């Protein structure tokens, strides 16, 4: 037995039932105090998207994690010192935290097709996480998104498992590396087939064969496990109507036995809630299926009672509970958590000037440059001449919040540069029915600190460009060309879906908000709001965009369109009206990268990692029969 396995066995032998069950429980920070961490022997705490301490500075995060950690390390007759592990959604940078560098969402990184860059992005992300005293991120998402109606398409690198499988191990390596002071624990998610649900419904059902599951959705996990990923998160979706959270074949037989995964498996946000009619049954079913750690909001004390009761009665074999605890301890030992100083005294906590540093921003800016995909360039209008007289227009031209997309400061993203209508997390009453992702209006917490909007980036290269969001200032006597930045506004899971009808029944929507909470800048409560739209047509989702473009072209000024989006959209009308058309995805905080490319200082090199639709009713993926998208997988024009 190697030394880590020996340490695990010795520690396990000392643990009581209470201590074991606490170790597998992960409450959300709004629902648990440091005192309770000790009292219930809690193994982990998390922050949901937008759930942040204090004023949301790195120092606030260090202080919070330090308190939880200290509680977990107090040793006395009743309590063993086992360091807590804190988890966050650092999915495109450590973006819950104000001032973090925000990288392009995964869909843009897929277009960049640069595995070395992926590893560097992950390494920077790890440093920005470590600089907040945190040890674990629920990233990378290795979904292979097969239907662009899915609101999480932007979290996917590609519809093609090859890119995802190539990136997954590199991202894991960049995060975990040597488990040293600048590294964090990675978590591949959401196991498995989250990108395969029918109609792209978030948390829906994937109706596919075992063969297709293995060919398309399992390979990225195989690659990540081989690269030593320490944790895996299970999907809230179902496979042929059976929820993944209770799926023994998927979790135990495939992931643990077949792929040989020896780290721990974590449930997603309140993911066991809907497995069975009773919560007790759900908890038993999931643990017995192979789940090791449980991410829970309000019901974690109930969960602990049910698990203890059912271990005592024998419905949950003690070996299963022991296996779960051993896996968690294995990760903590492998990562060296027992030897690390308290969060406030770790190397990067003490050097948090690296947080949001210029060096980190340069990596994000490079990623922006490499992710841009050019779909049209009539008369070689791009790259633009720096002497041209330029008008910049469009609702996404000067809005860092919009260009960052979801999972940035707030769960569903923010509308920045306009404090009036910015939304972000504020502390909530933990007694209320509102778990994390509360979206109250708050100016101070909403800002994307640092970085540049796309207009700011352009203006730095060509000073004195005119900014006119609705394009009304367009004047052929004053402007040779207009750059119009259009597209989607931020969204995240569930609310980002595009489909007819409201949020599907049975969806895990309780996690989002109460019936009163609203999205940034909107009056309609989230729960009444439903999905992002009904069809993939941009002119229906955002009629203001084509209106802005036409108001400019009607004056005879040529338009270069830059589109912010989290998925391929049907943009035939906008394409037709534009001389050039560039897809920028959700580029993140470093809008300067767009100017780097459109003025020709750098080449344009991104290639589609998703097939591009002509109509809404088609959903081509590379390799499909009669494949005939508007722009095929791999398309992307270059400068001559
Ligand atoms: C999402 C996960 C995320 C978790 C914690 C869930 O709703 O599906 O991707 O890691 O919340 O915020």
| Pair (110, 10) in one structural domain | yes
pLDDT digits (tens, 9 = 90+) for 199-232: 999 999 999 999 999 999 999 999 999 999 999 9
Dihedral sign computed on CA atoms, order 357, 358, 361, 363 = negative
> For atom 4 of ligand 1, which residue has the closest CA?
269
Reply yes or no on whether the pLDDT at 516 is more than 70: no
- Residue 475 lies in domain: 372-542+561-598
| Percentage of residues of the chain with pLDDT beyond 90 | 86
Reply yes or no on whether the pLDDT at 441 is more than 50: no
Q: Domain end: 354, 389, 408, which one?
A: 354
CATH number of the structural domain spanning residue 417: 3.40.50.1700
Cα 402 to ligand 1 centroid, rounded to whole Å? 21
pLDDT digits (tens, 9 = 90+) for 304-323: 999 999 999 999 999 999 99
| Pair (156, 68) in one structural domain | yes
Cα 197 to ligand 1 centroid, rounded to whole Å? 17
CATH number of the structural domain spanning residue 19: 3.20.20.300
Place of tokens 């219930």: 40
Q: What is the C-alpha separation between 379 and 454, in angstroms, rounded?
A: 24
Ligand 1 pocket check for 493: Cβ under 6 Å: yes
| Pair (246, 140) in one structural domain | yes
Ligand 1 pocket check for 155: Cβ under 6 Å: no
User: Token digits for 351?
Assistant: 């050097």
User: What pLDDT does 499 receive?
Assistant: 87
| Pair (392, 488) in one structural domain | yes
> For atom 7 of ligand 1, which residue has the closest CA?
269
Cα 48 to ligand 1 centroid, rounded to whole Å? 7
For ligand 1, mutation pick of 44, 49, 142 (most atoms within 8 Å of CB): 49
Closest ligand 1 atom, residue 51 Cα: 12
Confidence grade of residue 522 (pLDDT, cut at 50, 70, 90): low
User: What pLDDT does 416 receive?
Assistant: 81
Reply yes or no on whether the pLDDT at 521 is more than 60: no
Cα 269 to ligand 1 centroid, rounded to whole Å? 6
Q: Is 334 domain-assigned?
A: yes
| Pair (326, 441) in one structural domain | no
| Pair (106, 242) in one structural domain | yes
| Pair (412, 318) in one structural domain | no
Ligand 1 pocket check for 268: Cβ under 6 Å: yes
Reply yes or no on whether the pLDDT at 171 is more than 90: yes
> For atom 8 of ligand 1, which residue has the closest CA?
268
Around Cβ 473, how many Cβ atoms within 10 Å? 15
Residues 6+ apart with CB under 8 A from 502: 530, 531
Q: What is the C-alpha separation between 192 and 216, in angstroms, rounded?
A: 10
Q: Is 623 domain-assigned?
A: no
Q: Is 621 domain-assigned?
A: no
DSSP one-letter string for 256-299? IIIS---SEEE--TTTTTTSSSSHHHHHHHHHHHT--BEEESTT
Strand partners, 391: 466, 482
Ligand 1 pocket check for 451: Cβ under 6 Å: no
Domain count, the chain: 2
Cα 633 to ligand 1 centroid, rounded to whole Å? 29
Ligand 1 pocket check for 271: Cβ under 6 Å: no
Q: Is 634 domain-assigned?
A: no
Q: Is 632 domain-assigned?
A: no
> For atom 11 of ligand 1, which residue has the closest CA?
269
Closest ligand 1 atom, residue 411 Cα: 12
Reply yes or no on whether the pLDDT at 409 is more than 70: yes
For ligand 1, mutation pick of 188, 197, 268 (most atoms within 8 Å of CB): 268
| 446-456 mean pLDDT | 87
User: Token digits for 631?
Assistant: 């722009």
CB neighbour burial string for 443-461, b if at least 16 within 10 angstroms, e if fewer: eebbbbebbbbbbbbbbeb
Reply yes or no on whether the pLDDT at 425 is more than 60: no
Confidence grade of residue 447 (pLDDT, cut at 50, 70, 90): confident
Reply yes or no on whether the pLDDT at 506 is more than 60: no
Strand partners, 45: 86
> For atom 5 of ligand 1, which residue has the closest CA?
48
Q: Domain end: 306, 327, 354, which one?
A: 354
Dihedral sign computed on CA atoms, order 596, 598, 600, 602 = positive
Q: What is the mean pLDDT of the chain?
A: 92
Confidence grade of residue 420 (pLDDT, cut at 50, 70, 90): very low
| Percentage of residues of the chain with pLDDT beyond 70 | 91
> For atom 2 of ligand 1, which residue has the closest CA?
268
Helix (H, G, I), strand (E, B) or coil at 79: strand
> For atom 12 of ligand 1, which residue has the closest CA?
48
Ligand 1 pocket check for 50: Cβ under 6 Å: no
| 182-204 mean pLDDT | 97
| Pair (440, 535) in one structural domain | yes
Ligand 1 pocket check for 413: Cβ under 6 Å: no
Cα 342 to ligand 1 centroid, rounded to whole Å? 26
Ligand 1 pocket check for 48: Cβ under 6 Å: yes
Ligand 1 pocket check for 405: Cβ under 6 Å: no
**Among the ranges given (305-314, 377-386, 515-524, 577-586), the one the predictor scored with the smallest mean pLDDT:** 515-524
Reply yes or no on whether the pLDDT at 504 is more than 80: no
pLDDT digits (tens, 9 = 90+) for 589-637: 999 999 999 999 999 999 999 999 999 988 899 999 999 999 999 999 9
User: Token digits for 525?
Assistant: 């409560």
Q: Is 548 domain-assigned?
A: no
Ligand 1 pocket check for 89: Cβ under 6 Å: yes
Ligand 1 pocket check for 585: Cβ under 6 Å: no
> For atom 6 of ligand 1, which residue has the closest CA?
269
Reply yes or no on whether the pLDDT at 510 is more than 60: no
Reply yes or no on whether the pLDDT at 514 is more than 80: no
User: What pLDDT does 187 receive?
Assistant: 99
List, by residue number, the catalytic residues.
268, 493
Closest ligand 1 atom, residue 236 Cα: 8
| Pair (411, 493) in one structural domain | yes
For ligand 1, mutation pick of 29, 48, 234, 513 (most atoms within 8 Å of CB): 48
Q: Is 627 domain-assigned?
A: no
| 506-525 mean pLDDT | 50
Q: What is the C-alpha separation between 401 and 92, in angstroms, rounded?
A: 14
Closest ligand 1 atom, residue 49 Cα: 12
Reply yes or no on whether the pLDDT at 503 is more than 90: no
pLDDT digits (tens, 9 = 90+) for 67-94: 999 999 999 999 999 999 999 999 999 9
Sheet holding 373-377, edge to edge: 373-377, 580-583, 559-564, 481-487, 390-393, 466-467
Reply yes or no on whether the pLDDT at 505 is more than 80: no
Cα 629 to ligand 1 centroid, rounded to whole Å? 32
CA-based angle 607:106:255, to the nearest 5? 115
| Pair (127, 35) in one structural domain | yes
| Pair (148, 203) in one structural domain | yes
Q: Domain end: 304, 320, 354, which one?
A: 354
Confidence grade of residue 519 (pLDDT, cut at 50, 70, 90): low
Closest ligand 1 atom, residue 508 Cα: 7
| Pair (300, 381) in one structural domain | no
Closest ligand 1 atom, residue 436 Cα: 12
Q: Is 551 domain-assigned?
A: no
| 322-344 mean pLDDT | 98
User: What pLDDT does 517 receive?
Assistant: 57
């Amino acid at each position: 037995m190697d030394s880590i396995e020996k340490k695990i066995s010795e520690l396990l032998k000392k643990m009581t039932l209470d201590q074991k069950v606490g170790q597998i429980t992960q409450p959300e920070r709004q629902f648990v105090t440091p005192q309770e961490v000790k009292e219930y022997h809690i193994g982990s705490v998390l922050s949901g998207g937008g759930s942040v301490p204090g004023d949301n500075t790195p120092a606030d995060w260090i202080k919070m994690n330090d308190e939880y950690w200290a509680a977990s390390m107090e040793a006395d007759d009743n309590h063993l010192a086992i360091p807590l592990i804190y988890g966050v959604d650092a999915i495109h940078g450590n973006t819950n935290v104000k001032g973090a560098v925000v990288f392009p969402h995964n869909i843009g990184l897929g277009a960049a097709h640069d595995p070395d860059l992926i590893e560097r992005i992950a390494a920077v992300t790890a440093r920005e996480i470590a600089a907040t005293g945190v040890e674990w991120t629920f990233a990378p998402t290795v979904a292979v998104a097969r239907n662009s109606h899915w609101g999480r398409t932007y979290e996917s690198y590609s519809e093609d498992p090859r890119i995802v499988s190539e990136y997954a191990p590199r991202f894991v390596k960049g995060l975990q590396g040597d488990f040293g002071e600048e590294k964090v624990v990675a978590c591949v998610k959401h196991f498995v087939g989250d990108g395969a649900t029918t109609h792209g419904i978030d948390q829906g059902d994937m109706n596919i064969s075992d063969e297709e599951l293995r060919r398309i959705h399992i390979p990225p996990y195989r690659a990540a496990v081989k690269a030593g990923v320490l944790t895996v998160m299970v999907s809230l979706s179902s496979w042929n109507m059976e929820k993944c959270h209770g799926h023994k074949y998927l979790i135990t037989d495939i992931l643990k036995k077949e792929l040989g995964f020896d780290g721990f498996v974590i449930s997603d946000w309140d993911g066991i809630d809907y497995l069975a009619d009773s919560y007790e049954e759900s908890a038993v079913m999931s643990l017995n299926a192979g789940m090791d750690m449980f991410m829970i909001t309000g019901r974690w004390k109930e969960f602990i009672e049910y698990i203890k009761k059912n271990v005592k009665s024998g419905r949950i074999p003690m070996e299963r509970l022991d296996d779960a605890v051993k896996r968690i301890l294995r990760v903590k030992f492998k990562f060296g958590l027992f030897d690390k100083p308290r969060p406030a005294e770790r190397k990067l906590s003490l050097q948090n000037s690296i947080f949001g540093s210029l060096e980190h921003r340069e990596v994000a800016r490079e990623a922006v440059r490499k992710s841009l995909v050019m779909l049209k360039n009539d008369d070689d209008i791009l790259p633009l001449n720096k002497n041209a007289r330029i008008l910049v227009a469009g609702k996404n031209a000067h809005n860092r919040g919009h260009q960052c997309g979801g999972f940035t400061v707030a769960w569903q993203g923010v509308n920045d540069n306009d404090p009036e209508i910015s939304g972000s997390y504020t502390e909530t009453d933990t007694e209320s029915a509102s778990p994390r992702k509360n979206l109250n209006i708050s100016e101070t917490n909403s800002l994307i600190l640092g970085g540049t909007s796309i207009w700011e980036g352009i203006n730095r290269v060509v000073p004195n460009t005119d900014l006119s969001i609705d394009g009304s200032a367009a004047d052929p006597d004053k402007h040779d060309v207009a750059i119009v930045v259009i597209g989607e506004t931020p969204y995240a899971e569930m609310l980002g879906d595009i489909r007819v009808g409201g949020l599907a029944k049975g969806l895990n929507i309780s996690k989002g908000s109460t019936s009163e909470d609203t999205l940034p800048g909107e009056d309609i409560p989230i729960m009444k709001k439903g999905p992002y739209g009904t069809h993939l047509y941009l002119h229906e989702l955002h009629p203001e965009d084509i209106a802005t473009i036409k108001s400019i072209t009607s004056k005879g000024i040529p338009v270069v369109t830059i589109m912010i989006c989290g998925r391929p959209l049907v943009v035939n009308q906008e394409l037709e009206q534009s001389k050039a058309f560039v897809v920028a995805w959700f580029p993140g905080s470093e809008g300067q990268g767009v100017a780097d490319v459109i003025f020709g200082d750098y080449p344009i090199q991104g290639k589609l990692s998703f097939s591009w639709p002509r109509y809404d009713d088609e959903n081509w993926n590379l390799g499909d029969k009669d494949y005939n998208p508007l722009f095929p997988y791999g398309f992307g024009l270059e400068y001559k």
